[in-house]
Amino acid sequence: MICSDWEGPWVTADHAYEVTKRGIPNGDRLFAGISEYDDYLAYVRKKEGYEPGDTLALTAPFLIAHNIDNKLLIDVAKDNANFIKGSLEAIKILGQLGYAMRIISTSYCQYVHYTTDLAGIPVRNTKCTYFPINKYSKVIKDKDKKFVKEKVKDIINLPRLGISASTTVEDLPSEALESIKKLDNFFWKELPETSYRHIFEEVKPIGGHRKFKALLEVLKEEGKELCESETIGDSITDWVMLKETKDAGGLSVSFNGNDYAVKNANTAVISDNCMVTPIVIDLFRKSGTEGVEKVASSWNYKTLKEAVQSGRISSSLFERFLEFTGGNADNFPEVVWITKDNLEATIKKSKEVRKRVRGVAIGSLG
């Protein structure tokens, strides 16, 4: 059962980032700062009740304050329906092979529903973050909107936190701690005293443990166990479902992932082309994680060809794969079975390709 994130493994955009960038002056800097704070709350402090990806809840008050509406969210979705090379073909092939796929995305539903429809994936096969922005905008007081708008300049001028998957509280310099103190005060003391307070109670982004819960719901609906899941992700919002799938013996794939994803997966796909994804999934279906480990540990054309000849990869699927790569070593996707010995090198290479495929700004987000 393929249970995949959407932004990163199949499309290049980060919809919430793009909306914030377009709708708010200096919105790109605002979103980057809030995203880093999200990484801190979820992965360093481990704030109770907070999940990776709750950036989309923290950003919501600013979108509402700047009178962004549902139309803009949909317009941005249309303008940024940018698929990674080979993704539409790969999704079609997986369907032809009978491999059911479910999308579990932290992104707002406005983007997920529009773009998955283009890929032929029904809305019923998606789970995403519900955000009825027009409804919320009607109940927020004007004075509270003004208060939030005035906070943008303060937040974008705060020193950056420098958070990664290995950061601890002890690693943080005094400047970062001061930034965190100011952000804590704004989000958890000042905002709850305004008409925005119900936003945090109702907007629950599908990330972290919520994303893993959604994965379990999907598997239960299909009568599958976690060890049968091919779970695909690329960022901090995916780390829980990647880790749990790996621990259960399933296929846990980081697709051009950052350090959060790579550290919690058993397989890393590093590629600008999604046609490699069906190869890895087909290999897992036919020979389990042992088969993936064997091929990925010595990944090259020769090893793949041997897997095809032994029936562990569909020959027709391999031929379609070669149509996209041409068997060219310079254009050959990389698949790595992640070990302690190759972890850091894999993270470095994965993040480099991540930035090349998705762009430096989006690729640098947690």
State pLDDT tens for residues 79-93: 999 999 999 999 999
Q: Which two tokens stand for residue 289?
A: 């994680």
Q: pLDDT at position 68, please?
A: 97
CA distance 253 to 234: 8
pLDDT per position as a tens digit, 282-335: 999 999 999 999 999 999 988 999 999 999 999 999 998 988 776 655 568 999
Residue 232 has pLDDT above 60, yes or no: yes
CATH number (domain holding residue 265): 3.40.50.1000
Q: In what order do the strands lie in the sheet with 251-255?
A: 126-129, 101-108, 2-4, 230-233, 251-255, 267-270, 334-337
Tell me what pLDDT residue 21 has: 96
Contact in structure between 353 and 270 (CB atoms under 8 Å): yes
Q: Parallel, antiparallel, or unpaired: how do β-strands 334-337 and 267-270 relate?
A: antiparallel
From 172, 202, 232, give the residue that closes a domain: 202
Same domain, 244 and 331: yes
Q: Among residues 151, 173, 202, which one ends one of the domains? A: 202
- The CATH code of the domain that includes 152 is 1.10.3870.10
| pLDDT at position 362 | 75
89 and 76 part of one domain: no
240 and 314 fall within a common domain: yes
The answer to whether the beta carbons of residues 237 and 208 sit under 8 Å apart is: yes
Count of structural domains within the chain? 2
Instruction: For the chain, report the end-to-end CA distance as a whole number of angstroms.
Output: 26
155 and 247 co-located in one domain: no
Query: Is the pLDDT confidence value at 22 over 70?
Result: yes
Residue 340 pLDDT: 97
> Per-residue pLDDT averaged across 155-159, rounded?
93
100 and 232, same domain (yes or no) = yes
Residue 4 confidence (pLDDT) above 60:
yes
Q: Report the mean per-residue pLDDT for the chain.
A: 94
pLDDT grade for 35, boundaries at 50, 70 and 90: very high
Q: What SS3 class is residue 349?
A: helix
Q: Which of 181, 202, 223 is the last residue of a domain?
A: 202
pLDDT at 160: 87
User: What is the arithmetic mean of pLDDT over 157-169?
Assistant: 88
Instruction: State whether 155 and 236 are in the same domain.
Output: no
Do 91 and 72 belong together in one domain? Answer: no
Residues 151 and 219 in one domain: no
* pLDDT score of 366 more than 70: no
Handedness of CA 311, 317, 320, 326 (dihedral sign): negative
Q: How far apart are CA 263 and CA 166, in angstroms?
A: 10
Is residue 189 domain-shared with residue 219, that is, in the same domain? no
Residues 168 and 143 in one domain: yes
**What range does the domain containing 359 cover?**
2-9+85-114+123-128+208-363
Q: What is the mean pLDDT of residues 213-224?
A: 97
Q: What is the pLDDT of residues 79-129, one digit of tens each?
A: 999 999 999 999 999 999 999 899 999 999 999 999 999 999 999 999 999
**Whether 52 and 183 share a structural domain:** yes
Do 27 and 98 fall within a single domain?
Answer: no
- According to the model, what pLDDT value does residue 247 have? 98
